[in-house]
């Protein structure tokens, strides 16, 4: 029976991927920073007859990663597939986002998939496991933008690192894939934040954007399918969705043309867009935004934003 | 008189760029973690009639950037050009490099660009300066190899950050350029470490690799000239050497082909090549020093 590790599996793409692997008969290690949603994923898998265990993981913490990898390999064995999915979204211009925002983004979206890849790849090499590593990047890896520059910068680094790892692990018969989804219906925006504004405003911004993001875009199941296909056929880069394929090819054909398109997306326009989305989709949002704003001050909720994509 | 800030100006590309801008009449601020090296360059520039000031800066520390930024603003006002050149290159495979080594590469090569761009772009916007920011990326951003994956990751991220900044700052009429030099005759390798080696082995390896880099046909002055032109014409992405241009287009054409080609490269082969070329390296080095003697 295959052993599959999925990070950020408490919601969205991570949950869909965990469920898909479980349905195919794999044992799934569900990890998330959010214990509640992570255990829910395990329950969902168990009730439909699959096998899954939960272990909490803060992917921003290298020491936690090391403990996690050691635990998985000691308790369950060296995994056959590792899916580094956990990620966050921070909106706001290059200058609006603080140094702390940038460091958090780089730690979670760039370093964490590479740290996870390193730890598990070493164990696969040592054990002679012909496994597979999948890093969930984003079409953002190819799209320079002024509305979430830290996100695209981190994803570009993660995508490139995935390519380098693919070259290095090929002689060990370990496959490495980068999945680059376009717009997917997840909690990424709900759990995200807006750099350069007060906490309460950031929470309300994320709630408004999230209210639309939950309905707009493709199902995370599409990405889960891409993940299993990438493992099956050892694919290098897999864009998911038309916009992702367009971004992937256009960034290679003409980076200049792509930039002149993304230049139209400015942060002030994005803020108007978020307002509009909030008005259309978030009818009861004012009440919920208030509670989010209130609880955003507590460290638990702030940290929860990290785990799920 | 324009104010031009250059990080890592104590050596290599930074030093040549500082000298070139100074020779065009700009006031150059030489920031380097190696204060003595930056001061030497400043003395050299001043001796040839230019204006230069050396300043200590560890580019990986945000608070040092804040202090540096405040100092520049009070002394000279918002700068006209910022060149984020400082960088390190540690060699070592993806798995060989420890988490701390990965983090060091990211902090020095990537976060420095973020901190510097944020600090001085804001000053330029506030003062209404139609300035320019140049970030030194690398041809390594198009080369996913086993030799320096961490460096490549940082430089690929620098390229994306630079393009995002370019998109964002266009309406403030601030230009942003990424430079991808290729193999340049600098002390980058001699200053770097290689992961997975004991100390004595490491010293031998860096000395050899540093000597091999001495053979590179393109000098840092070539990069300096390209930077100067890129600022004048507001170019977006500028590979410098022919191999940098080639790999830039090849990686866009077919990442798979590049990966296949790089599958052949490895430390074993790099060492074998270094061994074979050691006599040549020594000969070139000795003939070069003989030439220098002669010219004196």
**Residues of chain A positioned with their CB less than 8 A from the CB of B235:** none
CA nearest to B5, candidates B58, B61, B62, B54: B54
SS3 track for A144-159 = CCCCCHHHHHHHHHHH
Instruction: Identify from B69, B99, B108, B157 which residue to disrupt to test chain A contact, counting A C-beta atoms within 10 A and taking the largest count.
Output: B157
Give the three-class secondary structure for B49.
coil
Interface check for A113 against chain B (CB to CB < 8 A): the answer is no
Answer whether B167 sits within 8 Å of A253, measured CB to CB: no
The alpha-carbon gap from B263 to the nearest alpha carbon of chain A, in Å, equals 6
**Residues of chain A positioned with their CB less than 8 A from the CB of B122:** 95
From A65, A151, A205, A248, the catalytic residue: A151
Identify the helix (H) or strand (E) that includes residue B180.
strand B175-180
pLDDT at B110: 97
Which residues are within 8 A (CB) of A275 and not within 5 positions of it... i.e. 6 or more apart? Answer: A208
Q: What is the pLDDT of residues B42-64, one digit of tens each?
A: 999 999 999 999 999 999 999 99
pLDDT at A116: 97
**Residues of chain A positioned with their CB less than 8 A from the CB of B93:** 168
Q: What is the pLDDT of residues B240-279, one digit of tens each?
A: 999 899 999 999 998 988 888 887 776 777 777 777 777 7
Of A99, A164, A262, the CB nearest to B152: A164
Residues 146-175 of A with CB under 8 A from B: 146, 149-150, 152-161, 163-171
**Residues of chain A positioned with their CB less than 8 A from the CB of B263:** 167, 170-171
Q: Cα-Cα-Cα-Cα dihedral of A273, A274, A280, A285, to 10°?
A: -170
Task: Specify the DSSP class assigned to residue B4.
Answer: E
Residues 132-151 of A with CB under 8 A from B: 141, 144-146, 149-150
**Residue A180, strand partner residues:** A239
pLDDT at A194: 85
Q: What is the pLDDT of residues B175-210, one digit of tens each?
A: 999 999 988 888 787 777 777 777 777 777 777 777
Of A160, A170, A236, the CB nearest to B263: A170
pLDDT at B139: 93
**Residues of chain B positioned with their CB less than 8 A from the CB of A262:** 167
pLDDT at A203: 84
| Mean per-residue pLDDT over chain B, rounded | 90
**Residues of chain B positioned with their CB less than 8 A from the CB of A112:** none
The alpha-carbon gap from B19 to the nearest alpha carbon of chain A, in Å, equals 30
Answer whether A166 sits within 8 Å of B259, measured CB to CB: yes
Chain B residue whose CA is closest to A158: B153
Query: Backbone dihedral region of A25: left (phi > 0), alpha (psi from -120 to 50 degrees) or beta?
Result: left
pLDDT at B121: 97
Copy the structure tokens of residue B201: 């082995």
Answer whether A157 sits within 8 Å of B157, measured CB to CB: yes
pLDDT at B277: 75
ipTM of predicted complex: 0.88
pLDDT at A291: 41
Task: Specify the DSSP class assigned to residue B139.
Answer: G
Chain B residue whose CA is closest to A112: B99
Which residues are within 8 A (CB) of A102 and not within 5 positions of it... i.e. 6 or more apart? Answer: A150, B111, B114
Answer whether B94 sits within 8 Å of A156, measured CB to CB: no
Answer whether B160 sits within 8 Å of A144, measured CB to CB: yes
Ordered per-residue pLDDT tens for chain A, 309 residues: 899 999 999 999 999 999 999 999 999 999 999 999 999 999 999 999 999 999 999 999 999 999 999 999 999 999 999 999 999 999 999 999 999 999 999 999 999 999 999 999 999 999 999 999 999 999 999 999 988 999 999 999 999 999 999 999 999 999 999 999 998 888 888 788 888 788 888 888 888 887 777 777 889 999 999 999 999 999 999 999 999 999 999 999 999 888 988 888 777 777 878 877 777 776 655 544 444 433 333 333 333 333 333
Instruction: Identify from B160, B237, B248 which residue to disrupt to test chain A contact, counting A C-beta atoms within 10 A and taking the largest count.
Output: B160
The alpha-carbon gap from B261 to the nearest alpha carbon of chain A, in Å, equals 9
Its pTM surpasses 0.90 = no
Q: Which residue has the tokens 């074979």?
A: B276
Interface check for A6 against chain B (CB to CB < 8 A): the answer is no
Answer whether B118 sits within 8 Å of A99, measured CB to CB: yes
- Asked whether A162 and A149 are in contact (CB, 8 A), the reply is no
Chain B residue whose CA is closest to A152: B160
pLDDT at A284: 55
What is the crossing angle of helices B112-127 and B62-76, to 10°?
Answer: 30
Answer whether B145 sits within 8 Å of A125, measured CB to CB: no
Answer whether B149 sits within 8 Å of A161, measured CB to CB: yes
DSSP string, chain A: --EEEEETTTSHHHHHHHHHHHHTT-EEEEEES-HHHHHHHHHHHHHTT-EEEEEE--TT-HHHHHHHHHHHHHHT-S-SEEEE-----EES-TTTS-HHHHHHHIIIIIIHHHHHHHHHHHHHHHHT---EEEEE--GGGG---SSSHHHHHHHHHHHHHHHHHHHHHGGGT-EEEEEEE-SB-SSTTTT-EETTS-HHHHHHHHHHHHHHHTTSSB-HHHHHHHHHHHHHHT-SEEEESHHHHHHHHHHHH-HHHHHHHHTT--HHHHHHHHHHHHHHH-TTHHHHHHHHHHHTTSHHHHHHHHH--
What is the distance between the alpha carbons of residues A204 and A210, in angstroms, rounded to a whole number? 10
pLDDT at B146: 87
Answer whether A262 sits within 8 Å of B95, measured CB to CB: no
**Residues of chain A positioned with their CB less than 8 A from the CB of B236:** 255-256, 259
Answer whether B157 sits within 8 Å of A237, measured CB to CB: no
Answer whether A165 sits within 8 Å of B118, measured CB to CB: no
Band of residue B26 on the pLDDT scale cut at 50, 70, 90:
very high
**Residue B27, strand partner residues:** B3, B51
| CA-based radius of gyration for chain A | 19
Q: What is the pLDDT of residues B94-149, one digit of tens each?
A: 999 999 999 999 999 999 999 999 999 999 999 999 999 999 999 999 999 888 99
Answer whether B236 sits within 8 Å of A255, measured CB to CB: yes
Copy the structure tokens of residue B64: 């040092």
Query: Backbone dihedral region of B91: left (phi > 0), alpha (psi from -120 to 50 degrees) or beta?
Result: beta
Instruction: Identify from A103, A133, A153, A154 which residue to disrupt to test chain B contact, counting B C-beta atoms within 10 A and taking the largest count.
Output: A153
The distance between the two most distant Cα atoms of chain A, rounded to a whole number of Å, is: 56
In chain B, % of residues over pLDDT 70: 98
Of B102, B153, B163, the CB nearest to A144: B163
């Amino acid at each position: 029976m295959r052993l599959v590790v999925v990070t950020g599996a408490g919601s969205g793409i991570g949950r869909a991927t965990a469920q898909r692997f479980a349905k195919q008969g794999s044992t799934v290690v569900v990890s998330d920073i959010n214990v509640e949603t992570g255990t829910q994923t395990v329950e969902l898998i168990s009730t439909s007859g699959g096998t899954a265990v939960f272990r909490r993981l803060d992917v921003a913490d290298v020491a936690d990663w090391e403990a996690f990898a050691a635990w998985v390999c000691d308790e369950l064995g060296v995994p056959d597939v590792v899916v580094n999915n956990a990620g966050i979204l921070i909106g706001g211009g290059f200058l609006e986002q603080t140094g702390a925002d940038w460091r958090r983004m780089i730690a979670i979206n760039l370093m964490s998939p590479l740290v996870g890849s390193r730890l598990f790849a070493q164990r696969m090499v040592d054990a002679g496991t012909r496994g597979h590593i999948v890093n969930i990047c984003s079409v953002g890896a190819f799209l320079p933008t002024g509305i979430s520059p830290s996100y695209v910068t981190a994803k570009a680094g993660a995508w490139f690192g995935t390519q380098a790892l693919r070259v290095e692990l090929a002689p060990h018969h370990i496959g490495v894939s980068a999945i680059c989804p376009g717009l997917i219906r997840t909690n990424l925006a709900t759990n995200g934040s807006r750099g350069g504004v007060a906490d309460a405003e950031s929470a309300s911004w994320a709630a408004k954007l999230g209210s639309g993001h939950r309905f707009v875009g493709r199902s995370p199941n599409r990405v889960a399918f891409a993940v299993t296909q990438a493992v099956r056929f050892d694919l290098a880069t897999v864009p998911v969705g038309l916009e992702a394929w367009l971004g992937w090819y256009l960034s290679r054909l003409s980076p200049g043309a792509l930039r002149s398109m993304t230049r139209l997306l400015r942060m002030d326009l994005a803020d108007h867009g978020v307002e509009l989305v909030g008005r259309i989709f978030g009818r009861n949002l004012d009440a919920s935004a208030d509670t989010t704003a209130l609880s955003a001050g507590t460290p638990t909720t702030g940290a929860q934003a990290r785990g799920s994509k | 008189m324009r104010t031009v800030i250059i990080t890592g100006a104590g050596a290599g590309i930074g030093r040549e760029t500082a000298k070139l801008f100074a020779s065009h009449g700009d006031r150059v601020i030489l920031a380097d973690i190696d204060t003595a090296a930056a001061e030497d360059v400043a003395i050299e520039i001043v001796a040839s009639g230019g204006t230069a000031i050396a300043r200590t800066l560890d580019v990986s520390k945000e608070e040092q950037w804040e202090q540096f930024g405040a100092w520049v603003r009070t002394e000279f006002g918002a700068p006209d050009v910022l060149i984020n050149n400082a960088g390190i290159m540690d060699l070592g495979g993806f798995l060989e490099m420890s988490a701390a080594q990965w983090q060091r590469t990211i902090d020095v090569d990537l976060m420095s660009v973020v901190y510097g761009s944020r600090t001085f772009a804001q000053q330029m916007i506030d003062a209404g300066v139609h300035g320019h920011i140049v970030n030194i990326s690398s041809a390594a951003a198009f080369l996913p190899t086993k030799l320096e994956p961490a460096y490549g990751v940082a430089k690929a991220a620098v390229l994306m950050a630079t393009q995002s900044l370019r998109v964002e700052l266009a309406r403030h009429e601030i230009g942003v350029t990424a430079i991808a030099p290729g193999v340049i005759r600098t002390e980058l390798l001699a200053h770097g470490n290689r992961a997975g080696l004991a100390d004595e082995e490491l010293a031998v390896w860096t000395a050899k690799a540093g000597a091999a880099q001495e053979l590179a046909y393109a000098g840092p002055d070539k990069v300096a000239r390209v930077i100067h032109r890129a600022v004048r014409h507001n170019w977006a992405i500028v590979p410098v050497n022919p191999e940098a241009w080639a790999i830039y287009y090849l990686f866009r054409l077919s990442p798979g082909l590049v990966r296949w080609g790089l599958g052949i490269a490895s430390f074993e082969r790099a060492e074998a090549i270094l061994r074979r070329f050691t006599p040549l390296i020594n000969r070139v080095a000795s003939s070069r020093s003989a030439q220098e003697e002669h010219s004196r």
